[in-house]
Amino acid sequence: MTHEILAAGFGGQGVLFLGRVLAQAGLIDGKEVSWFPSYGPEMRGGTCNCSVCLSEKPIGSPLVTHPSVLIAMNTPSLEKFIDFVVPGGVVICDSTMVDTEVSRDDVKAFSIPASQLAADNDLKGGANIILIGKLIKETGVFTRETFKKAIEKIVPPEREHLIAGNLRAAEIGINS
């Protein structure tokens, strides 16, 4: 099974980090993986998205043009990419930031107020990980154990204290 995941939002929401966690998890599960950012000229605040492919087969284009999973962290991202999601695909929105409904009925759409939940739980900047939790719950793309290993791998040693928060954020998504 090949997952072609597109995560999109504003710069600074942790879209690229979200993608890296997915890629790392795929790697831990022994899959072929690729991660490719769309990069704009601005360092902060621009629109930002990243393509992650997880597959049993070698990956051709690392650029996801027709995602099987779309993670939208703001309204413009949902509007920009919703028409490209493959029929039967999964759409996960941060409903704190996305104020429109998913307009298609041939995709599986899920909403979770990830930014609000992050703020309520003292997990500043953790909305991206809450969305990964939701992805784990709704698609089973990988397990929470794999996620834990991925986070432990990615978070650098000098920031080890951040691991617990990330695990807590994922649980919020999984249990929502």
Partner 1 sequence: MKGNEAVAEAAIRAGCKCFFGYPITPQNELPAYFAKKLQASGGVFLQAESEIAAINMVLGAASAGVRSMTSSSSPGISLKAEGISYIAGSDLPCVIVNVQRGGPGLGSIQPSQADYLQATKAMGHGDFHVIVYAPCSVQEMVDTVFKAFEIADLYRMPVMILADGLLGQMMEPVSFPDFTLSEPTKKWAADGHGGKRKKNIINSLFLQPDDLERTIRERFARYDEIKARETEAELYMTEDADIVLVAYGATARVVKSAVNLAREQGIKAGLVRPVTLWPFPEKELNEGAQNARALLCCEMSMGQMVDDVKLAINCSKPVTFYGRTGGSIPSPTEILEEIKRIGGVV
At its nearest, how many Å lie between partner 1 and the CB of residue 17? 12
Contact positions with partner 1 (CB under 8 A) in 82-101: none
Per-residue CA distances from 176 to 72, 104, 112, 172 (Å): 17, 23, 8, 6
Min separation Cβ 123 and partner 1, Å: 25
Residue 12 tokens read as 């600074």
Closest CB to partner 1 among residues 59, 174: 59
User: Residue 51 CB, nearest distance to partner 1 (Å)?
Assistant: 9
Beta carbon of residue 60, minimum distance to partner 1 (angstroms, whole number): 3
What DSSP element (H or E) covers 21?
A: helix 15-28
Helix, strand or coil, per DSSP, at residue 154: helix
In the complex with partner 1, which residue's Cβ is closer, 12 or 37?
37
C-alpha–C-alpha distance, residues 93 and 10, integer Å: 13
Q: By CB under 8 A, is residue 20 in contact with partner 1?
A: yes
Sign of the dihedral defined by the CA atoms of residues 37, 41, 45, 46, in that order: negative
Buried b (16+ CB within 10 A) or exposed e, 83-112: eebeeebbbbbbbbbbeeebeeeebebbbb
Cβ proximity to partner 1: between 22 and 97 the closer is: 22
> In whole angstroms, how close is the CB of 138 to partner 1 at the nearest point?
25
For residues 42 to 81, the per-residue mask of contacts with partner 1, x marking binding by CB under 8 A and - elsewhere, is ----------------xxxxxx-xx---------------
Q: Is 27 in the site for partner 1 (CB under 8 A)?
A: yes
- 109 vs 165: CA distance, rounded Å: 26
Interface residues with partner 1 (CB under 8 A)?
20, 23, 27, 32-37, 39, 41, 58-63, 65-66
